Amino acid sequence: MSTIRDVAAQAGVSVTTVSRVLNNDRTLSVTEETRDRIYAAAEALGYRKKMVRTPVRQIALLYWLTEQEELHDVYFQALRQTLESQARQHNVELRLYTVEDGIDAVAPDTRGFIAVGRFSARELSRLRELTPHGVFVDTVPDQDHYDAVRPDLAWMTRKAVDFFVAREHTRIGFIGGVDYDPDTRERRIDIREQTFREALGTLGLLDETAIFTGSQFSVEDGYRLMLQALETLGDRLPTAFFVAADPIAVGCLQALNERGIAVPGCVSVLSINDISVAKYVSPPLSTFHIDVEELCRTAVSLLLERVTGGRTLGKTVYLTAELIIRKSAV
């Protein structure tokens, strides 16, 4: 059986260097040629073959959100950081490109990409010119050519409606944001609002006056929209609100607390994401927990199936979520 010393001898480097390279220590200052020589020697000798992961290079991380958009919703910051962490664990070397860099900055030798954000028709066309291997996270913009993985927001919305109806709420409101067409920048209905309308419409419980949407998925919009609901509806205020995302829900709770509206005594609030502050707001927020780790792990696996596994058929993966019941919803 081959040893680490055998690998070091064949690669012409020290045992320490072999150990650090095979353990994916990216702080080690060695050339890519040396790394490749070590991986080749380890595979040729059968040394810990199942544990050796040959580097996957020239992979782009397309992060198509502005700094302001990331600040509004920490979910996207968590996505970026977790994608980078998962890539390191799988020895995938990412090149980060932001929306400020633009699609034309993406290197022509790119083998594949992982993308977060909204992409225009021109940007998608450019990606198809660059590589057939790509995964979109949180959106499904080009199912004919690329893989995608996203939380199943429609499923969560239906489950939220079921939750409230099972608890005999008949006046249920919605507070959320809007989607945007990346080509025209025109507002379009978000999947959560669309599903909410369909689910309540089927039950005969839809009240158009109890739907409020803003331009951002932010705390500020949540605060403003809930104040608008209180002023507009008065005594007709719903006994429950489904809120599209936790940052909006935090703003909603601030407005309700400020106006002395008891939560959940008078109004129940249920949201999506389970961001870190959800358990610390007053009252603690009931919300669907999106497993960002699983989302990103799936994205990296899908990409590797394409780049190194040779898969050509497309895959689109929708992940459900766990409902975390805290004190904001009964």
> pLDDT tens-digit profile of 288-321?
999 999 999 999 999 999 999 999 999 999 999 9
Question: Of all helices (H) and strands (E), which one includes residue 123?
Answer: helix 121-130
30 versus 173: which is more confidently predicted? Answer: 173
Quick check: 51 pLDDT over 60? no
Residue 140 banded pLDDT, cuts 50, 70, 90: very high
Neighbour count for residue 102 (Cβ, 10 Å): 12
Quick check: 60 pLDDT over 90? yes
Quick check: 65 pLDDT over 60? yes
Q: In this predicted structure, what is the pLDDT of residue 167?
A: 97
| Amino acid at site 306 | R
Concatenating the DSSP letter of every residue in 303-325 gives HHHHHTT---S--EEEE--EEE-
Contacts 24+ apart (CB under 8 A), 31-40: 32/57, 37/11, 37/12, 37/13, 38/7, 38/11, 38/13, 40/11
The mean pLDDT of the chain is 93
Concatenating the DSSP letter of every residue in 174-229 gives EEEE-EE-TTT--EE--HHHHHHHHHHHHHT---GGGEEEESSSSHHHHHHHHHHH
∠ CA 175-247-255, nearest 5°, is: 65
Q: In this predicted structure, what is the pLDDT of residue 151?
A: 98
Q: In this predicted structure, what is the pLDDT of residue 194?
A: 98
pLDDT tens digits for range 201-254:
999 999 999 999 998 899 999 999 999 999 999 999 999 999 999 999 999 999
Q: In this predicted structure, what is the pLDDT of residue 96?
A: 96
Indicate yes or no: pTM above 0.85: no
Q: Among residues of the chain, what percentage have pLDDT more than 90?
A: 75
Cα–chain center distance at 329: 25
Compute the average pLDDT of residues 74-86.
Answer: 92
CA dist 28 and 64 (Å) reads 30
pLDDT tens digits for range 148-161:
999 999 999 999 99
Q: In this predicted structure, what is the pLDDT of residue 39?
A: 83
Q: In this predicted structure, what is the pLDDT of residue 50?
A: 45
Q: In this predicted structure, what is the pLDDT of residue 48?
A: 63
Q: In this predicted structure, what is the pLDDT of residue 26?
A: 65
CA dist 252 and 323 (Å) reads 19
Neighbour count for residue 204 (Cβ, 10 Å): 7
- Give the orientation angle of helix 292-307 with respect to helix 74-89, to 10 degrees: 50
How many alpha carbons fall within 13 Å on the CB side of residue 52? 21
Q: In this predicted structure, what is the pLDDT of residue 294?
A: 96
Q: Among residues of the chain, what percentage have pLDDT more than 70?
A: 97
CA dist 193 and 321 (Å) reads 18
Task: State how beta strands 112-117 and 56-64 pair.
Answer: parallel
Quick check: 52 pLDDT over 70? no
Residue 31 banded pLDDT, cuts 50, 70, 90: confident
204 Cβ partners below 8 Å, 6+ apart? none
- Token couple for 16: 């320490």
> By mean pLDDT, which of 59-73, 124-138, 183-197, 265-279 is the weakest?
59-73
CA dist 169 and 178 (Å) reads 25
Q: In this predicted structure, what is the pLDDT of residue 112?
A: 97
